[in-house]
Amino acid sequence: MSALQFEPGLFVRGVTPPLALAHYRLVAFDMDSTLINIECVDEIAAAAGRKAEVAAITEAAMRGEITDYKESLRQRVALLRGVPASALDAVYAEKLRLNPGVERFVQALQAAGLKTLLVSGGFTFFSERVRHRLQLDFARANMLEIERGALTGRMIDRPWGDICDGAEKRRVLLEVCELMGIEPRQSIAVGDGANDLPMMSVAGLSICYHGKPAVREQAMISIEEGGMDRALALFSR
């Protein structure tokens, strides 16, 4: 189904605005390049002089050209071996910013009573700070292993599994829906990369924010210009 332009740079597919915000109970967000302006793994790699190498893998994974997200992430994290842990603080303080319109969009959904979930293929060092900053309810991400003040090039297995990839994002969204006693159609999923498509495919509403071509082509709402809060124009209050 082809997308229709609702406003310049704002496209809809398979839905007819205005949408009833009261219909939804949960919103799940990707983090890197969605809630925030950077890909954290690329910026950490800059400290090792390997940003271009890591960023090329990230771009291919986000475009869906690398189908094994877990392996692509392991490859990128391995290239971070020896980077001082202090580089994480520097990335957060100097590089990481919320994307335009994110705070307004998140606050509007919270005011409407929606629970908020961050599901990231990135790292807990950043996701927990973003979760706290936006007062999100839940978060899941990957944990970098640090020994003697430096990254080891590995991640730490968690009780839920090893890596938060697209399949895990989908599983977490469905699990939180079940815990809340709601149907997946009462959820919204927001992302930009190929690893967001599994959770977007089961949500009742999918939003692509400045995303890769494959994501723009499948999302019900695609924001291709301006801030994330532009999506609010599609909802009735």
- Partnered with residue 158 across adjacent β-strands are 161
Catalytic, 30? Answer yes
Residue 113, helix vs strand vs coil: coil
Instruction: Give the separation between CA 53 and CA 214, rounded to whole angstroms.
Output: 23
Q: Which of 30, 165, 192, 229 is catalytic?
A: 30
Catalytic, 42? Answer no
Q: How far is CA 66 from the centre of its chain?
A: 18
Kindly state the DSSP code that residue 126 receives in the 8-state scheme: H
Sheet strands (E) in the chain: 4-7, 10-12, 19-20, 26-29, 115-123, 138-147, 150-156, 187-191, 205-209, 221-223, 235-236
Q: Which of 32, 42, 165, 196 is catalytic?
A: 32
b/e burial code for range 59-91 (CB count within 10 A of at least 16 → b): eebbebebeebbebbbebbebbeebeeebbeeb
What count of other Cβ atoms lies within 10 Å of the Cβ of residue 45? 24
Residue positions annotated with a catalytic role: 30, 32
